[in-house]
Amino acid sequence: MNVLKYISLVISILTFGLIQNSYAQSAKVQEAITALQATDYHKAQTAIDLASTTYPTNNQSKTWYYKSFIYKELYKNTTNNDYVTATLFSVEKCIKLDTTQKYIASVKEIAKFVLASEKIKSTQFFNEKNYNKAYSSSINILKWKSTLQFPFPDTTTTYIAGISAYNIKNNQDAIIYLNKSIELAFTNPLIYATLADIYIQKNEIENANKILNLATDTYPSDTVLANIKVVHLKNTKQVNELINTLKLTIPLFKNRVPKMILLAKTYEELAQNDEIGKNLHLQNAEKLYLEVISVDENNLIANAGLGIIYYNQAVDIINKQNYDIDVVALDQIQNECVVIFKKALPYMLKAYNIDKLNYNTLEGLSGIYFGLNDIPNSNKYKEELSKIKKK
Amino acid sequence: MRKKLYILLATLGFLTYSSDIFAQDANTKIKAIFIYNFAKYVEWPPQKANSDFVITLVTSNTGLIKELEKMALTCKVGSQKIVIKVCTKPSEIGTSNLLFLGNDKVSQIAEYNTKCLANNILLVTEGTGLIKKGAILSFVYADNKQQFELSKINAKKAGLYVSNNLANMAKTVEQ
């Protein structure tokens, strides 16, 4: 009997203790609410922190709702990032515990507010070129939006994360977020330019090709993208693709001359490795140089380029002859070549007058005069070239 | 950012161009074709037709030497195989058919001419008026072309016969 009385007494004490504790914790939540109403956020914070770490209130959605609300208020008055995490963590807990869905709509609004404010900060960091902060802040936003299952993707923040990652040399993340931006149809040519630059740096030629093709298809009139593609194709010696790209993009540029010259040079390069198409490629280069000269008569490269094309044309005619052609035929060939050498001469002289120290021009002039069997003039330019080389 | 990309473009060398390549000089090829034609249109005494056709070169023009060596790989004079020799003094010329004396060596024409006359050798030189000094054929430049002067007199002295087809193409013919 005594034993039973003893047990009953213990149970009563324990039950009373639990009830008392429960009351005490509920009182803490109430205390937090009261402090909140009095806008004493720090007192509210202390009370809600205790409630959220003690049974049973730590398993109640109400506690986490108030905690998210209190921390949101604290966040509003400071830039402390810990409040962001605490608010959003509380939102997450509340959503998990709120089986009756009493608080879900409200906590989602709290999360929206905090994340929208963070997005403004992230954009500010980005605009100020503080890429380290812009990166960490944007990554945090994206992480929380994913955790809280926000229904719509955040394209701007994804873009900021990608560009910021690139600027802090985190190319791995830059590739992820920039590709994600493209998937989300975020419209900014810089995404393509940046991704292309990363692939080029990593020497991933195929990826660079893919992104640049996509870039120029998406933004056919963007000259920066066109330039990047042209440079990439030139540096990776993708000659045919370079020619096609230049043909398409030259009309985009106000100053078309550099691109026309590059195209002409590319045709010349192609001619060197394509015996069958050689003449056609050289004709294309010739046309381009003549077009350049029609708008810029003092263009050194176009003048020298034409001089060299004609010079080589004459030399090729002679060099392809068999040794057993007769003297009469040889004379006719020489006549034909004299005409071509004379065609080359004014362009090469013009180039020489534009830049008297240019190796190619001096070598070309010496060669043309030699072809014309004007040995004194040929030697004159050869000597000039030799003097320059000695310097 | 765009500015940065433009700078990037500049550093990638957009405005630099690959160096231009000039085709090899064609004058040596023309000279080689002429020399081959000289060999075809000149007749040597029968005793010179039984062995190789020897072209001896006295010149520092390495381009021409290479061009003629290339020619010798594929061409023949009649049934005679062409052999190219390079020599530096008259005593080395031996039993050549044709001797080419480059314009840098024409000061020695008299010594070479003596050897050529004695051995039925066609003396070919470079320069105007050299047929007056013993050359049978000499390259000259006229109208921006390579042409040649011919001395039938010197050919006869060397025991050689020059075809009229060749004479008709000469700029000057000394009969």
**pLDDT tens-digit series, residues B24-56:** 678 899 999 999 999 999 999 998 887 899 999
Closest-CA distance of chain B to residue A161, Å: 15
By percentage, how much of chain A surpasses pLDDT 90? 81
Closest-CA distance of chain A to residue B81, Å: 14
Predicted local confidence at residue A139, as pLDDT: 96
Q: Is the pLDDT of residue A1 over 50?
A: no
Stretch B79-95: mean pLDDT: 91
Q: Is the pLDDT of residue B14 over 70?
A: no
Predicted local confidence at residue A6, as pLDDT: 56
Q: Whose structure tokens read 């298809």?
A: A217
B30–A contact, CB cutoff 8 A: yes
Mean pLDDT taken over chain A: 91
Q: Band of the pLDDT at A272, cuts 50, 70, 90?
A: confident
Q: Is the pLDDT of residue B8 over 90?
A: no
What are the backbone dihedrals phi and psi of residue A177, each rounded to the nearest 5 degrees, phi first? -75, -30
Q: Is the pLDDT of residue B116 over 70?
A: yes
Stretch A236-265: mean pLDDT: 92
Q: Is the pLDDT of residue A79 over 90?
A: no
* C-alpha to C-alpha distances, A364 to A179, A208, A266, A308, A326, nearest whole angstrom: 50, 38, 20, 6, 29
pLDDT, tens digit, for every residue of A196-213?
Answer: 999 999 999 999 999 999
Chain B's closest residue to A313, CA to CA, is B23
- Tell me what ipTM this predicted complex has: 0.86
Question: Model-level pTM?
Answer: 0.72
Q: Band of the pLDDT at A4, cuts 50, 70, 90?
A: low
Chain A residues within 8 A of B75 when measuring between CB atoms = 323-324
B78–A contact, CB cutoff 8 A: no
Q: Is A235 exposed, middle or buried (0-12, 13-18, 19+ CB in 10 A)?
A: middle
Q: Is the pLDDT of residue B23 over 70?
A: no
Predicted local confidence at residue A27, as pLDDT: 83
Tell me if residue B5 falls in helix, strand or coil. Answer: helix
The answer to whether B5 contacts A311, with C-beta atoms less than 8 Å apart, is: no
B6–A contact, CB cutoff 8 A: yes
Chain A residues within 8 A of B171 when measuring between CB atoms = none
Please list, in sequence order, all residues whose beta carbon lies within 8 angstroms of the beta carbon of residue A383, skipping any fewer than 6 positions away: none
